[in-house]
Amino acid sequence: MWLTRPFNERSTQIFLLILIVAVTAVTILHLAVPEGHPLYVSGYTVGLLGKYLTYALLAVAVDLVWGYLGILSLGHGAFFAIGGYAMGMYLMRQIGDRGTYGDPILPDFMVFLNWDSLPWYWLGFDMAWFAFAMVLIAPGLLALVFGWLAFRSRVTGVYLSIITQAMTFALMLAFFRNEMGFGGNNGLTDFRELLGFDLRSEATRLGLFIASAVALALGYWLCRAIVGSKLGRVCVATRDAEARTRFLGYRVERFQLFVFVVSAMLAGVAGALYVPQVGIINPSEFDPIFSIEVVLWVALGGRASLYGAVIGAVLVNYAKTVFTGVMPDAWLFALGGLFVFVTVFLPKGVAGLLERRARRRDDADVMSEKEATA
Amino acid sequence: MWIPCYAVTTRIVTCLLMGLLSWLPMTAAAQQQDGQALLEALDTRSFDDKAAAIDAIIESEQSRADVWLQALLDSDLQRLKDDGRFVIALETAGLDVTIEDALTGEAMGEVSRRDLDRLTINNALRSQLRSAISLVELYNGDEDARLDAAEGLIGDVEEAQVEPLTNRLDEEPSAAVRNRLNQALAVYRLNQGDVDAVEVLAGSLNSNIRVALSRAAQSDDPLVVDAATAALADIEQNLKINRAAETLYFGLSMGSVLVLAAIGLAITFGVMGVINMAHGELIMLGAYTTWAMQQLLPGQPGLALILAIPAGFMVSALAGVAIERGVIQFLKGRPLETLLATFGVSLILQQLVRTVISPQNRTVITPEWMSGSLVVNDALSLTLNRMYVLGFALVVFAALILVMRRTRLGLEVRAVTQNRAMARSMGIRATRVDIMTFALGSGVAGLAGVALSQLTNVGPNLGQNYIIDSFMVVVFGGVGNLWGTLVAGMSLGIINQVLEPWAGAVLAKIIVLVFIILFIQKRPRGLFPQKGRAAEG
Amino acid sequence: MSFFQSLTERDRVFDFMTPQLSKVDVRHGPILYMEDVTVSFDGFKAINNLNLTIDDGELRCIIGPNGAGKTTMMDIITGKTRPNQGSVWFGSRHNLLHMNEPDIASLGIGRKFQKPTVFEALTVFENLELAMAADKRILPTLTARMTGEIKDRIDEVLETIGLTALRHQPAGILSHGQKQWLEIGMLLMQRPRLLLVDEPVAGMTEQEMERTAELLTGLAGKQSVVVVEHDMGFVRSIARQVTVLHQGSVLAEGTMDEVSMDPNVVEVYLGADEEAA
């Protein structure tokens, strides 16, 4: 079965094991260790780690299309943000009449803009199942339309990168407009509760952290399953020799579209989990720079390895947290330098380094394992 | 318009004309002596006497007569309490008043307001002064001043002015001024109910004329109403054409900015195939070079701007070479990695400017010869700085075409891009060509920055705002095709400006982006694709 | 054709259920039929009024100087390039001009590129697996399982192309000649009715060439093979029927001996390139 195959892979086993251990450790250190103890993990840190995990899921989504399909999307931030907005709309509706203006239906910003009713696309977002479905459907639909247009006309490589960037840029401009009905500049914020849980409580924060870890594990597993299947090999074939794949009888554009949509949905889920943890979603998530940064996480971690994307996302964001606290001006220098360093000196990323060490250690082992999986 | 003082005005005008016709040179001393006497006459309680004094001033042929009249009108003509000298108040700050000598125009520093007596006027005198001033201006030696005065008269002509104006019309050497005077008189006649006046006014874009015509279109005389309505429709049509011309101009201007920003990219990306995300920052460097030049040459913004053209080119070209040698050469044949690495460079450059110079925008001065605008007609005036930038863009484009088509470098660049191995075996030093090409493209980005410094704020984010647009232009035009870049930039600029009035600036930009995204899907190789086997790869 | 349209088209499902080899209707003679085909790039006619017929089971060699239009001709047959005019039929049922590359490929036309193109990041085994005739839509591909039958088939081809020992090495490490074979092996996995082989022996040693010749002649009869080649010695060793292309149209056709006697051919081709012959 293609879905169970990942459990036979050593890399997946190790990855899931580390994830489980890490999450358990954080949970225990947060709950069982008394505050003030050096090993205590604060609620703030839990929230921060939860945020890293959603970023890691986003990076996995980007790696799926970039690493295995060769599509460098500079617009995945858009799918992330749309998933986030879907969640944000649900959270807005959950505020109910507790907003500043006390309107039972309309979010504060709509009252402020003198709107007298909800726009049609806000309908249904008071129901959790609908909003959660939209977290998948909205980014998936955008990816479907965009990808269908792009892959059908065989826009690939740099061109595709540039138009994905234009896509997220156009969306950013659009979401900045108040008339769009998504809160304009300020976005959506002041959330109260999610499925009845108070978003300000530490327990909810821990729950969201665990939910992010589960989402990451599931996303990782799904991607591994796809990548390890014959479809995954078609993707790699497409990446390396698109025309050849076509002449073998594969409808390359459909494979690209399929994987692109799956990846966009994963990004949407990541965004949806990100929003309640940071408490706001605004158009800056559409900023093309954010999308490029995500690509850097993947590049640093190592393209086409999936776990590398996770490593990269956590490393870069941890560095960002440290830098912006200690010397904020230096962060952009460090980030810029990292871009150059990774592409020039570390083309295979951290995962490449790990794999080279592993290969040196047991070359024969890998060979026999491959035999078994084939 | 009801004028309270016909008799006086008539007198002034007649005297004024006589006086002007018999202009005689006078000695400065005599002028001053007379001037003092003339101004003394103004200092009287009786407004009738003041009217007479004003007439006398007009008759006097004093060279500063217009200054006095204007000052009197603005209540700036005052008298020092202690020595009785006439002064003109130039600026008032609290109690302090900066003054100059009314007779000589010599600056006299500041005095307290309490030391001054103001010469008062009433409404009747005000009207008298106004028409007197505009008539005086009509006799000014400077054609532009006369044109302004004639324009000011449109819709403001009083009965008493008709005769002198008609006379003036015969003497006026400039056709433009005659035309204006004719229109001014026609508006007066139209106000009196004269249908024939409409003929003179038809097609004019002056807003006062339009006001007069729309008033006439609501008058009682059906003949006048018909003629005025027809003329108004005509004007409306004319206005539309002018608005279209204005949109086209703004579109071309925006297009020229896009072309300038993109044309360097058309070389590095289009011809060499290198994705340089730091291109925007090379533009920024050009803009900052302009600023730096102006800091080095304070008080000479024009010279600094001209020197900034070669300097901006050199700075950005050198930065480009540094990027090529330091990063891009290691990533040959890996366009996506090049994209990422150069993006890193762009972050570093931005932060460098923020740290070294300032995160705030810097002001770049627009030299005098570039400010102002070219007035085509009443509804259309073209700002000069945009026109210079448009011209500059075309010159840069032409120069680039020449470089690529006619020079050894251009030939080598084309050879290397088409077949690197073959070009090398023919003795072309491919590495050198890469450096030169990249320097050229980067230098052109610097030129774009110099031009942009005249249109937008110069800040660390300047380049970032143009990078996506620039890539869009190059891809839309067809990669590797300089002419395509020109056409694409210009047409995107125009499309944007056409959309803006009804969609707003942001929505217009979104629409253009979506349009390009869809267009690329339809024609992945742009407007002017390269065909044949070479393009298949 | 959109993704959704094709999902609702029922005859497509039947398409793959019918056995591969019976799809092409060759009862009326030729398997490939090109008539009056013309292609121009920016006014330059790469193919000019080309007429070509390949019979079922035939092995045909196509020769011609550089720029004669050999590769462009293959591009047209496989759907990569659309001609400005003319018609191209596969059997008497399929108009190739109305189909795209994957359609044409799954119809049974396989192509080997001039420059050997294999998937370098995948192993030799995986390369063959992807090439294998199978349901190549998304979900079947996602859920595809490796059966013993498939393994046997791949092993068989590995044997034929002599790459059994390298089966789990990435294709990227193969030598030039091995890549050529792997690509031929991929063609075999496709079980095509018509093989288009562009310069199969470029960069091969004498022995490798001999093996390739053996391979190709072994295929003829069961399948139709069109070989484009520059190496005259190789062509002479395998060719029964030779077509000479020149400036985008057929200059001569016949056995190797016949065409090498043809004065036109001697003038434009052999005459200019004696030593190659």
pLDDT of chain A, 374 residues: tens digit per residue: 777 888 888 888 888 999 999 988 888 888 887 777 788 878 788 888 999 999 999 999 999 999 999 888 998 999 999 999 999 999 988 887 787 787 878 888 888 888 888 888 888 888 889 999 999 999 999 999 999 888 888 887 788 888 898 889 989 988 988 888 888 888 888 888 888 788 788 888 888 999 999 999 999 999 999 988 889 899 999 888 888 888 888 888 899 999 999 999 999 999 999 999 988 898 999 998 899 999 999 998 888 888 989 999 999 999 988 888 888 888 888 889 988 988 888 888 888 888 888 777 655 554 555 555 54
Give residue B8's pLDDT: 47
- Which tops the pLDDT comparison, B174 or C83? C83
Complex ipTM, two decimals? 0.86
Token pair, residue B114, equals 């309490």
Report pTM. Answer: 0.79
Contact B82, B115 (CB under 8 A): yes
B16's tokens: 């004024």
- Asked whether residue C11 is domain-assigned, the answer is no
The verdict on residue B279 lying in a domain is yes
**Tens digits of residue pLDDT in B394-441:** 999 999 989 888 888 888 887 877 777 777 777 778 788 888 888 999
Same domain, B344 and B493: yes
User: Which 3-state string (H, E, C) describes chain C?
Assistant: CCHHHHHHCHHHHHHHHCCHHHCCCCCCCCCEEEEEEEEEECCEEEEEEEEEEECCCCEEEEECCCCCCHHHHHHHHCCCCCCCEEEEEECCCEEHHHCCHHHHHHHCEEEECCCCCCCCCCEHHHHHHHHCCCCCCHHHHHCCCCCHHHHHHHHHHHHHHCCHHHCCCEHHHCCHHHHHHHHHHHHHHHCCCEEEEECCCCCCCHHHHHHHHHHHHHHECCEEEEEECCCHHHHHHHCCEEEEEECCEEEEEECHHHHHHCHHHHHHHHHHHHHHC
Confirm whether B225 is domain-assigned.
Answer: no
Identify all chain A residues contacting B358, using CB atoms and an 8 Å cutoff. none
Percent of chain C with pLDDT strictly greater than 90: 0
Q: CB of B533 within 8 Å of any CB in chain C?
A: yes
d(C-alpha C118, C-alpha A257), whole Å: 23
Q: How far is C149 from chain A (nearest CA, A)?
A: 13
Q: Give the CA count within 13 Å in the CB-facing half-sphere of B93.
A: 5
Q: Which domain, by its residues, includes C132?
A: 20-276
Contact flag C144-A229 (C-beta cutoff 8 Å): yes
The reply to whether B509 falls in a domain is yes
Residue C8 included in any domain: no
Structural domain contains residue B262 = yes
Is the CB of C74 inside 8 Å of chain A's CB atoms? no
The answer to whether B537 faces chain C, any CB pair under 8 Å, is no
Q: Considering only CA atoms, which of B307, B301, B447, B446 is closest in space to residue B366?
A: B301
pLDDT in tens, B182-234: 788 777 777 777 777 777 777 777 777 777 777 777 777 777 777 777 777 88
Q: Indicate the range of A264-278, A310-324, B89-103, B311-325 predicted with least confidence.
A: B89-103
Q: Please check whether residues B108 and B248 belong to one and the same domain.
A: no
In a domain, C14, yes or no: no
Q: Which one is predicted more confidently, B255 or C20?
A: B255
Q: How many domains does chain B have?
A: 2
Q: What are the respective helix, strand and coil percentages of chain B, to the nearest 5?
A: 70, 5, 25
SS3 A188: strand
C87 touches chain B (CB under 8 A): no
Contact A103, A97 (CB under 8 A): yes
Q: Which pLDDT tens digit goes with each residue over B333-361?
A: 788 888 889 999 999 999 999 988 888 88
Grade residue B24 by pLDDT with cuts at 50, 70 and 90: very low
Which of these three, B73, B98, B118, is where a domain ends?
B118
- Give pLDDT, residue B31: 61
- Count: domains in chain C: 1
pLDDT of residue C269: 64
The residue ranking higher by pLDDT, A83 or C106, is A83
Q: Quick one: B113 and B255 in the same domain?
A: no
Among the listed residues C217, C148, C174, the one whose alpha carbon sits nearest the alpha carbon of residue C156: C148
Is C7 inside a domain boundary? no
C-alpha dihedral (B302, B303, B309, B315), degrees to nearest 10: -120
Touching subunits of C (3+ CB pairs, under 8 Å) are A, B
Q: To the nearest whole angstrom, how far is the Cα of C71 from the nearest Cα of chain B? A: 10
Q: What is the largest CA-CA distance in chain A?
A: 70
C-beta contacts of C160-167 below 8 A and 24+ residues apart: C160/C185, C160/C188, C160/C215, C161/C185, C161/C188, C161/C215, C162/C211, C163/C124, C166/C124, C167/C123, C167/C124, C167/C125
Mean pLDDT of chain B: 80
| Full residue range of the structural domain in which residue B352 is found | 241-367+385-536
Instruction: Kindly list the residues from chain A whose CB atom is less than 8 angstroms away from the CB atom of residue B509.
Output: 170, 173
pLDDT band at B2 (very low <50, low <70, confident <90, very high): very low
Q: What interhelical angle do B430-452 and B384-406 show, nearest 10?
A: 170
**Are the beta carbons of A199 and A30 closer than 8 angstroms?**
no
Tokens standing for residue A18: 């580390």
Q: How far is C172 from chain B (nearest CA, A)?
A: 17
pLDDT at residue B18 greater than cutoff 60 = no
Q: In what helix (H) or strand (E) does residue B117 lie, and over which residues does it extend?
A: strand B116-118
Query: What's the pLDDT tens digit per position in C37-59?
Result: 888 877 777 888 888 888 888 88
Whether C13 has a pLDDT exceeding 50, the answer reads no
In single-letter form, the type of residue at position C11 comes to D
The pLDDT of residue C129? 87
Given a contact as 3+ CB pairs under 8 Å, which chains touch A? B, C
Query: Can you tell me the distance from the alpha carbon of A56 to that of B150, in angstroms, rounded to the nearest whole number?
Result: 73
Question: Is pLDDT of C3 > 70?
Answer: no
* Residue B147 is assigned to a structural domain of this protein: no
Whichever domain contains C103, its CATH number is: 3.40.50.300
Q: Which residues contact A119 (CB under 8 A, 6 or more apart)?
A: A181
